[in-house]
Amino acid sequence: MNFTNKNINFSYDNLGIIASSLCMIHCIGTPFLFLAKACSTTCCADAPLWWKAIDYVFLIVSFFAIYFIAKKSSNNTINFIFWFFWGLLAITIFNETLGLFALPKNFIYIPAFSIIVLHIYNIKYCKCDDEKLCCTTS
């Protein structure tokens, strides 16, 4: 789904790619940022609340990006895969906050990277500008 203005071409797939990419950068950068902080001070090596809240901002943005894509797409398989990986991302983020069960620290990259790949696939193959070009296989 695209919204076009004279100077702006907005796509929920682009929004999803940006949000997922920033999420991955955030996740990759966190250990380095707090390792440096822990080395410089002996207390408070845990991430501040505002830094942990960024995970939920990315989760909400990606929810709306996927929601509007799924609403427009007629490919039920792609919709299911989008929601599956979003759910996996949400469970991973909630688990990281609450510590319900043990997951490898790098596990979060699997759903985040998968969502990026799905958005790229959706941009390339699921254009609905014309019904003939739309991703309509179910």
pLDDT tens-digit map of 91-113: 998 998 888 889 888 888 899 88
Residue 65 lies in a domain: yes
Residue 64 lies in a domain: yes
Tokens of 62: 């990606």
Residue 132 lies in a domain: no
d(CA 11, CA 74): 17
d(CA 95, CA 1): 32
Residue 62 lies in a domain: yes
pTM for the model stands at 0.67
Q: Taking Cα atoms as reference points, which of 39, 52, 136, 128 lies closest to residue 94?
A: 52
Residue 130 lies in a domain: no
As a whole number, mean pLDDT of residues 36-62 equals 69
| Domain span including residue 63 | 8-125
Q: Hey, which of 42-46, 79-83, 101-105 has the most confident mean pLDDT?
A: 79-83
What confidence score (pLDDT) does residue 40 get? 47
Question: What phi and psi values does residue 97 have, to the nearest 5 degrees?
Answer: -75, -45
Tokens of 77: 């398989």
What confidence score (pLDDT) does residue 87 get? 96
Residue 133 lies in a domain: no
Question: What phi and psi values does residue 10 have, to the nearest 5 degrees?
Answer: -105, 130
Q: Enumerate helices (H) and strands (E) in the chain, giving the number of each.
A: 4, 2
Number of domains making up the chain = 1
